[in-house]
Structure 1
Amino acid sequence: MADLDLRKVRYFLAVAEHLNFGRAAAALHIAQPVLTRQIRALEKELHARLFDRDQRHVELTDAGRQLATDAPGLLAEADAARLRVSRAARGSGTFAVGFMPGLIVTGPVRSLGAAHPDLTVEVRRTGWDDQVAVILDGRVDVGYIRLPVDQRGLTVEPLFEEPRVAVLPAEHPLAGAGEIAVAALADEHLLQDPGAVPEWRDIAIELRGRGAVRRAPSLATVEEKLEHVAIGHGIVVLPLSTATFYRRPDVAQVAISDIGPNRVCLAWRAGRHSRLISEFVALAHAEQAGCP
């Protein structure tokens, strides 16, 4: 079997998304006959029909559905490889560190820069959705991540743990409580991915059924989430350092008695061996331990 042509795979995904060759061709800015030929060539290379089509309908075959599942990861990995190669070609003069909201990385970053005067140490703020992606695609060399995440492709080293708190509107009936159980939040609307707070998700399903776990709104930053909390649209559960860093008078934070802590780890791409990564990890541990 011939190697997959990634350009044809991109064309395939466009057709799979639109299920219309004309609209897919327009989105790709190519002529429809060219797109049709490329898809036929891809089917020939794979020895599989990817689409069932007639003059009015286009549908994915079983083989097409399988490729539609596999192709995004394949293309993402290819793009990541290009980025890593590009960074390597520029030399080892930069080192990038990713960090999640609420985490302060100044100490280890400054120490690494002081130990290597010719090295530019960069920092990149990440979020729940991209904290792993920036490591895998090479945008950062090492990242401070908050679990749970998909750890495939990563080397992960625990750094520390911290409590999690519920962040509520200031006028919420529970806002003045010293501590609450997660079951007290089961009726609330969670303004974040339920996978980030599996304890809330599980108790909400147990008490209210699966319909209780509504899809979270598309809120990319802590600042956006807190605006929605303050307005009264729902609640969030945050690590204590994040809630403290973004403290504001129109929201309240309340300790949760029966959920585990947030675990903060250092992570880098599995199989990557770098003296600078090892040095940075040691500096981060020393900082956490309170060593000079």
Structure 2
Amino acid sequence: MDLDLRKVRYFVAVAEELNFGRAADRLRIAQPALSRQIRALEKELHIELFERSSRGTALTPAGTQLLADAGPVLAAADAMERRARLAARGTAPFTVAFMPGILVTPVVRAFTDAYPGIGVEVLRTSYYEQVAVLHDGRADVSFVRLPVPVAGLTVVPLFAEARVVAVPAGHPLAGKERLHVDDIADEHLLQDPDLVPEWRDIARDVREGSSRWRSGPGSTMEEKLEHVAAEEGIIIVPRSTAALYTRPDVVYRPLDGIADNQVAVAYSTQRGSAEVEQFADLAVRLLRTN
């Protein structure tokens, strides 16, 4: 059976919205047409993807599995189309993605010296896009801050970096030269607690079951710092990232009792090439410290 990717895209929209009307608006098609496409996909797969009732729409176990698998499949299809179009125009560059604070210039320079005929571009990413750019073909390699989902990727560790905590300038903790994770146990973390397990294990928010965090693709460093400055909570970031985002109403303090951030270079296992592997080797040679 040949899977119709258009129907899969329709399925993903409904699965994410859990509402056929909103999904139809998002896709800019009529709701009856969307319903027919989903029923056709269920018929082709011989499974039910949604449970439909008066209480609303919910994913079946099969639908949950398809949603998990659909992302990489659609990203790979998008990447294939994008790269084919670029190759047809003879404009496909070698793209290096990087997270803020990671200095990639030495590796890029060494790579261009080794491959003078290859045009190299750099692409700044966010935490939520640092591996997505590999799956969808926007980047050939990506300097990432761990942890990241490793499925379909080759991830090569490079070095570790200390993290600091950002607090409002008027906060009592801002007056201390150095903090321990125990000092911030009663503070509200504006990040996913799983990214800071040392805080999560002692935090009052978690003990009281009131942990909530601001996240999502649109949650930038600038937005997080606005919330910190407004005394809504704290964030914990790598030291080099903090150096890029200084402002008078936010203070960064060294933080003990917390693991360093791990930096790695990653690339798609399926789309590996001699150039990609050479770039990773150069990154190890020039940046690895452990």
Distance 1:143 1:215 in 2: 26
2:179 maps to which residue? 180
Shift in Å at residue 214 of structure 1?
1.2
Q: Determine if contact 1:180/1:257 at 8 Å carries over to the other structure.
A: yes
Q: Determine if contact 1:186/1:204 at 8 Å carries over to the other structure.
A: yes
Structure 2 CA distance for partners of 1:48 and 1:156, relative to 1, 3 Å: closer
Structure 2 CA distance for partners of 1:59 and 1:144, relative to 1, 3 Å: closer
Alignment of 1:18-37 (within 5 A): 24-37=23-36
SS at match of 1:281: helix
User: Aligned pair 1:74/2:70, yes or no?
Assistant: yes
Distance 1:277 1:49 in 2: 41
Alignment of 1:1-292 (within 5 A): 2-16=1-15, 24-51=23-50, 59-60=57-58, 62=60, 65-71=61-67, 73-87=69-83, 90=87, 93-204=92-203, 209=207, 211-218=209-216, 220-288=219-287
SS at match of 1:129: coil
Which piece of structure 1 moves more, 277-286 or 147-156?
277-286
Q: Determine if contact 2:98/2:125 at 8 Å carries over to the other structure.
A: yes
Distance 2:26 2:126 in 1: 29
SS at match of 1:174: helix
SS at match of 1:82: helix
Q: Determine if contact 1:51/1:58 at 8 Å carries over to the other structure.
A: no
Q: Which runs of 5+ in 2 are unaligned?
A: none
What whole-Å deviation, never above 9, does each CA across 1:14-59 have from its counterpart, x for those lacking one? 45566665665455444455444433332322223445658x6764
Q: Determine if contact 2:15/2:67 at 8 Å carries over to the other structure.
A: no
Which piece of structure 1 moves more, 76-85 or 239-248?
76-85
Q: Determine if contact 1:93/1:118 at 8 Å carries over to the other structure.
A: no
Q: Determine if contact 2:162/2:259 at 8 Å carries over to the other structure.
A: yes
Which piece of structure 1 moves more, 10-19 or 127-136?
10-19
What whole-Å deviation, never above 9, does each CA across 1:3-24 have from its counterpart, x for those lacking one? 3322233334445566665665
What whole-Å deviation, never above 9, does each CA across 1:172-221 have from its counterpart, x for those lacking one? 1111323222121111111222222122122216x851524213255622
Shift in Å at residue 88 of structure 1?
5.0
Q: Which amino acid aligns with 2:75?
A: D
Q: Determine if contact 1:96/1:122 at 8 Å carries over to the other structure.
A: yes
Shift in Å at residue 229 of structure 1?
1.6
TM-score for the superposition, normalised by structure 2: 0.84
Q: Which runs of 5+ in 1 are unaligned?
A: none
SS at match of 2:166: strand
Q: Which amino acid aligns with 1:263?
A: Q
Which piece of structure 1 moves more, 70-79 or 237-246?
70-79
Distance 2:249 2:47 in 1: 59
Distance 1:93 1:14 in 2: 30
Shift in Å at residue 285 of structure 1?
3.0
Q: Determine if contact 1:93/1:119 at 8 Å carries over to the other structure.
A: no
Structure 2 CA distance for partners of 1:228 and 1:146, relative to 1, 3 Å: same
SS at match of 1:203: coil
Q: Which amino acid aligns with 2:133?
A: V
Which piece of structure 1 moves more, 257-266 or 12-21?
12-21
Distance 2:281 2:270 in 1: 18
Shift in Å at residue 156 of structure 1?
1.0
What fraction of aligned residue pairs are identical, expressed as a percent? 50
SS at match of 1:165: strand
What whole-Å deviation, never above 9, does each CA across 1:60-88 have from its counterpart, x for those lacking one? 473xx532442364154223333235325
SS at match of 1:155: strand
